[in-house]
Amino acid sequence: MSSPKAHTINILSSIIGYGIYFPALMVYEQLKALNYNVNIYIIERYFDEKATSEFERTKAAFQKDVRLVQIASRIPVKYTKKLSEAKTKSLFQEWSDNHTTHFLCFSGLWLDTLQEYKQEQPNCVIDICRVDSAVSATWEALLRNDNLIANDLSFFDAKANKINYVLNVPEIKPLPYAERSQNVTIHGGGWDLGDFTTKTAAFAEAYQVNLIVNGLQELSDKNCTLYANQPNWNPLYENGFPPFGRIDSATEIDLKNYERHPGILTVLTKSKAIVSKPGGMTLMDSLISETPLLFLTSVGKNENSNQKLWQTLQLGISLEVWQKNEDKTALLQEMQSRILAIKSKTPCFLTTYTNLVANSAAYATQK
């Protein structure tokens, strides 16, 4: 079995959402800790100037009107026309100079570019890892580039109603459920979409609410604790995870830096439930933190599939249905017990992937 240093792994991701960026970054940090030669690349950083401006405007528009996201989720996305030719040429040279042996692709937006690179370097091994349970619009290139893929290491499978892998995060130690205080965490996903801030009333006096918001805000509800990432932090220009912390006042956030995982996980591991729309990263958060989900309205077919999967496995339920249940506490406890049971028998993503890389001779031919 060859040593980690014998391989150079390039992790390919996107900042179209934190649900793609965060998992890729966590895997990158774990491989780096195992002494692999590993790099991470964000496709939006290779846009031309016009496409970069369009991306920033689109993100702002999505945050203002979630209906735009619902429309966009149905439209196949092709990024190759947005890429700078000069940046792409330089990137290919960098990959060649680094003697890249393996790619781990978290975003389908890279597939057309990988097809082009594979023609120059046919011996490189390309794997994919989808975070959503179904093939989303950003993976529209998968069918025409299927010949590229050595292994599909996607976390979830909607068709099989199965969790394929769990991403274990050694630094995260979920609090035993019985020791968690009566609190829930509410957020709107990586782009803070929808009317999630209005849902605090659903928990009245029974629960304390951790509300994850976008930037500094006044604390208006005594039953809420506000948290936020560093205001104006932008992964298009900054590396790593955003600093994260509790909002102490309208002008101050108690920010902390997190090197191995997003800061929100430190809050989720102490919560009785996560209240959010069913993005792929939210499913991963549920497993990592061992916390059941209460779903807000989903956006797009991929989130519909994610919610269906979690509901089929009885690891989550819509907020409205949960509110109508006679014994809400017992229902959360039952879901959390099933999370523990499923997590204990689900293969570790990192172990699976590093075993494949180590056995490179067999690795290139596996499907």
Q: Pull the structure tokens for residue 19.
A: 């649900």
For a pLDDT cut of 90, what percent of the chain falls above it? 66
Does 219 have pLDDT greater than 70? Answer: no
pTM, to two decimals: 0.90
Same domain, yes or no: 234 and 133: no
263 within domain boundaries: yes
Give the type of residue at 329.
Answer: T
Q: Work out the pLDDT band at 82, boundaries 50, 70, 90.
A: confident
State in Å, rounded, how far the first CA of the chain is from the last one. 20
Q: How far apart are CA 204 and CA 223, in angstroms?
A: 8
Q: Work out the pLDDT band at 209, boundaries 50, 70, 90.
A: very high
C-alpha pair distances (Å), 54 with each of 57, 61, 106, 194: 5, 10, 22, 21
Q: 114, 148 in Cβ contact below 8 A?
A: yes
Q: How far apart are CA 244 and CA 239, in angstroms?
A: 14
Same domain, yes or no: 26 and 148: yes
Q: Pull the structure tokens for residue 122.
A: 């046919």
Q: What is the pLDDT of residues 139-189, one digit of tens each?
A: 888 888 888 999 999 999 999 999 999 999 999 999 999 999 999 999 876
227 within domain boundaries: yes
> 151: Cβ–Cβ under 8 A, 6 or more apart, which residues?
127, 128, 356, 363, 366, 367
pLDDT for res 93: 97
pLDDT for res 66: 42
Domain count for the chain, please give it.
2
Same domain, yes or no: 45 and 128: yes
What's 155's domain CATH number?
Answer: 3.40.50.2300
229 within domain boundaries: yes
Between 77 and 298, residue with greater pLDDT: 298
171 within domain boundaries: no
Does 74 have pLDDT greater than 50? Answer: no
170 within domain boundaries: no
Same domain, yes or no: 48 and 197: no
Q: Pull the structure tokens for residue 309.
A: 């999967």
Look at residues 214, 213, 186 and name the one whose alpha carbon lies nearest to residue 200.
186
296 within domain boundaries: yes
> 253: Cβ–Cβ under 8 A, 6 or more apart, which residues?
216, 228, 230, 231, 245, 246, 247
Q: What is the pLDDT of residues 236-265, one digit of tens each?
A: 999 999 999 999 877 789 999 999 999 999
Same domain, yes or no: 141 and 265: no
320 within domain boundaries: yes
Same domain, yes or no: 60 and 142: yes
Q: How far apart are CA 113 and CA 309, in angstroms?
A: 31
Q: Mean per-residue pLDDT for 15-40?
A: 94
Q: How far apart are CA 348 and CA 257, in angstroms?
A: 26
pLDDT for res 111: 94
Does 363 have pLDDT greater than 80? Answer: no
Same domain, yes or no: 221 and 159: no
356 within domain boundaries: yes
Q: What is the pLDDT of residues 113-130, one digit of tens each?
A: 999 999 999 999 999 999
Same domain, yes or no: 52 and 181: no
Same domain, yes or no: 127 and 201: no
Same domain, yes or no: 338 and 359: no
Same domain, yes or no: 133 and 266: no
The boundaries of the domain holding residue 308 are 177-345
Q: How far apart are CA 84 and CA 325, in angstroms?
A: 53
What's 248's domain CATH number?
Answer: 3.40.50.2000
Same domain, yes or no: 291 and 142: no
Q: How far apart are CA 70 and CA 278, in angstroms?
A: 13
Q: How far apart are CA 180 and CA 303, in angstroms?
A: 28
